[in-house]
Structure 1
Amino acid sequence: YHQKIFEIFQTLREQNEQESTGVGLAIVKKIIDDHQEDIMVKSELGKGTEFIFTWRNN
């Protein structure tokens, strides 16, 4: 699922969670890609999710 969450209109929520449009991470990925940077996701069930990205200071 780690790559799928960056696609537009994708959500991986449980039925009891708040609704989402599924565009937020797609926008973040587009901005990072446009600047030729990288984003990664690490997730552990029951522990949480961590997003790591690079951003060069030019």
Structure 2
Amino acid sequence: MIAADRGAELALTVADQGIGIPETDLPSIFERFRRAANAGAVAGSGLGLHMVRQIVTMHRGAIEVASRPGEGTRVTVTLPAIAAARAD
């Protein structure tokens, strides 16, 4: 069980060393069915980041993406921590 003070945040960062996302695509990367221009033959529907942002927003959190072509992508999700209730 994880307990946190009210107002604290929990951050989860996922990073890869993949093809990265071009800077020109970053502003629209959360749009439905949006794929980066360099995605080419890489499989995907363009729904992943859109769905993640919707879920994170519903939980009053934030999502941030940093990426460079040829270097990879880093996605950070920040959520408000909820103090765990202890049942004795």
Q: Which has the higher contact order (CA 8 A, sep 6+)?
A: 2
* 1:39 alignment partner, SS class: strand
TM-score (norm 2): 0.57
Structure 1 runs, 4 residues or longer, greater than 6 Å off: none
Contact 2:33–2:47 (8 Å) recurs in 1: yes
Percent of residue pairs bearing the same amino acid type: 30
What CA RMSD, in Å, does the superposition of the two structures yield over aligned residues?
1.4
Q: Distance between the aligned counterparts of 1:35 and 1:14, measured in 2?
A: 29
Q: Structure 2: which 5+ runs fail to align?
A: 1-24, 83-88
Aligned pairs, number: 57
